[in-house]
Amino acid sequence: MASGRRWLAGPVAAALLLLTGLATPTGPAAAADAEPKFSFDLTGTTIALGVQKKRVHLRMTNLTDETPSVVQFNVYSDELDWLNKASLNWPEGGGSGECDGDTPGWYCQFSSAVHPELLPAPGATVDLPIDIRVREDQEPYEGRFRIEAAMSWGTDVEWIKSSKWFTLRLVDEPEADLSVVAPDVTQSVRIGAGGRLEPAGTLKPGESGAVRYRVVNHGRKAVSGVKATLRLPAGVTFTRPPKECVIDDNGRSAECTYDTLALAPAEQDTDPNDGIHSAVELHNLVLVSADTKAPVTLDGATVRVEGLTAEPLAARSGPERTELPVNAVAVPAADVDASDNEDGFAVVVAASGGDGGDDGGNGGGGGLPVTGSQVGLIAGAGLALVLGGGLMLLVARRRNRLPFVG
């Protein structure tokens, strides 16, 4: 998928970033533009008292038919009592680009020269992690913060920017708090040794890919199961569904009920070998129609999760969960913040011919038609998930060190 635009070499890009003020947390100057070229949102900013850290995701959607050359976002905690109550931090371990600044105001940026894998393809959404660190959790609290996001296309570094206010709430609700993140589907997959899925290049018409989504419990109570509802765009259908999933007649909707998939609060997830987990990654195989005209981004797909029957977990030495009895059914559990229980994703289909490389169709830039409602998420490369049921348990570990520079 050729972009039709020349990307900057590393030294030239770095010089332009400095000249345009990108490397300062004051934010870039914006260019006037009649039509919006991107959108962004942040969900999941309600936290139960007693939770020390919660990871949320800034979702930036590219509304154009070309990949931007530079992206930046700034986070400002303008209210003075933030230093005593809570702070927003760029994530430890990366994932949001190159970041700098301090607690009251910091920024992250990435470009075609620095972390190009984060740049959102046409019609796609990049999911950028932000960590909320709670410093004082003795009583409920509400405070505002501001995020300014900006994108630039081509070599002129002419910024398009937007700014929004968001509210952080600490609430006295000791319940579960699930979130879900679903990357775009950009890679075709094949079944390798041991039944594992292996990436097989960019996804093309007539090939199979995998919808992957991670579910995390950020709350104070456990859930004894998880229900996931998935919707696919036209031209894409589910294939080889696990036994926990029911597929509708047109093959584009799935309801998957994992009655005994218990997710504990993160504070209980301290030993990777004890069988207690606060996060899980699932996948469902999908098939792109052979009649699809590519390259194209098929967006508008969603995945929504809810917890089932929140119950405190027994001590780690207690028995493992078993199947529900025949006279019992799982019921929805209370959720502290349901705003992050749903995520959108896109299916990015490359044109047939050649191997398409392994960049998920993102490195080539623009010229990619977009269909649907303009939601999705940039996918990371490398799939290694178990096929039968598509479930891989991940340990969500907590860290105390802040990533800020002085």
Which tokens go with 200? 């097989």
Question: How high is the pLDDT of residue 355?
Answer: 52
Q: Decide if 10-171 and 178-394 have a common fold.
A: yes
- Please tell me the CATH code under which domain 178-394 is placed: 2.60.40.290
Say what the pLDDT of residue 337 is.
84
Nearest to 309 by CA among 320, 292, 288, 324: 324
Please, is 81 exposed, middle or buried when counting C-beta atoms within 10 Å of its C-beta (0-12, 13-18, 19+)?
Answer: exposed
Give the span between the Cα atoms of 34 and 269, in whole angstroms.
49
pLDDT of residue 195: 72
**Dihedral pair phi/psi, residue 170, rounded to 5°:** -105, 120
Evaluate whether 260 touches 321 at the Cβ level (below 8 Å).
Answer: yes
pLDDT means over runs of 10, the chain (406 residues): 33 39 47 77 94 94 94 85 82 89 88 94 92 85 93 90 94 94 92 84 95 94 94 96 94 94 87 82 94 92 88 42 45 76 91 57 45 38 38 36 29
Write down the domain spans for the chain. 10-171, 178-394
Between CA 97 and CA 36 the distance in angstroms is 23
**Alpha-carbon torsion, ordered 371, 377, 378, 384, to 10 deg:** -120
Q: What is the pLDDT of residue 309?
A: 75
CATH of 10-171, one of 2.60.120.10, 3.40.50.970, 3.40.1190.20, 2.60.40.10: 2.60.40.10
pLDDT at 401: 30
The helix or strand, by DSSP H or E, that contains position 15, with its residue range, turns out to be helix 10-19
pLDDT of 214 reads 92
Measured CA to CA, the distance from residue 318 to residue 325 in angstroms comes to 19
User: Counting beta carbons within 10 angstroms of the beta carbon of residue 14, is it exposed (0 to 12), middle (13 to 18) or buried (19 or more)?
Assistant: middle
Phi, psi of 209 (to 5 degrees): -130, -175
Q: Compute the residue count for the chain.
A: 406
Supply the pLDDT for residue 129.
95
CA–CA separation, 402 vs 53, rounded Å? 11
The structure tokens listed for 35 are 């039509």
Angle at CA of residue 40, ends 303 and 368, nearest 5°: 75
DSSP reduced 3-state for 84: helix
